[in-house]
Structure 1
Amino acid sequence: MSASGTRFPADENSAPDLAILREAPQRAGKRNSFEDVPLIAEVVPVSTARKDYDDCTAEYGRYGIPVYLVVDPYAAEAVVHTQPTGTGYTAAHTYKYGAGKLPIELADGRAFTLGLDELPRSEPESGAR
Structure 2
Amino acid sequence: MSVMSDLVERGGIPEGYKVEVFDGRVIMTPQSPEQDWTVSDVKDAVKASGIARERVFGDVLITFPGENDAAPDLTIVGFDAERRRNSYSCLDVLAVVEVPSEPDDEKDYVRNVRKYGRYGIEYYMIADPFRKAVTLMTEPRDSGYGRSVEIPYGQVVAFTLATGERVRIDTSTFPARDAQDG
TM-score (norm 1): 0.87
Aligned match for 2:137, one of 74, 78, 81: 81
**Which residue is equivalent to 2:167?**
112
Post-superposition offset of 1:95: 0.2
For the aligned residues, what is the CA RMSD? 1.9
CA contact (8 A) 2:61 2:69 kept: no
Post-superposition offset of 1:48: 6.9
Structure with greater helix percent = 2
Q: Secondary structure at the match of 1:3?
A: coil
Post-superposition offset of 1:47: 6.5
Q: 1:107 is aligned with what amino acid?
A: A
**Which residue is equivalent to 1:121?**
176
Query: Structure 2: which 5+ runs fail to align?
Result: 1-56
Q: 2:95 is aligned with what amino acid?
A: L
Cα deviation code 1:29-77 (max 9, x no counterpart): 4422111111001001217711100110001001110000011111100
**Which residue is equivalent to 1:59?**
115
Post-superposition offset of 1:111: 2.0
TM-score (norm 2): 0.63
Aligned match for 1:26, one of 39, 58, 82: 82
Query: Structure 1: which 5+ runs fail to align?
Result: none
Cα distance change of structure 1 residues 110 and 24 upon mapping to structure 2, 3 Å threshold: same
The answer on 1:43 being equivalent to 2:99 is yes
Instruction: Using the TM superposition, name which of 87-96 and 31-40 deviates more.
Output: 31-40
Q: 2:89 is aligned with what amino acid?
A: S
- What is the number of residues matched between the two proteins? 126
Identity of paired residues, percent?
Answer: 28
CA contact (8 A) 2:59 2:74 kept: yes
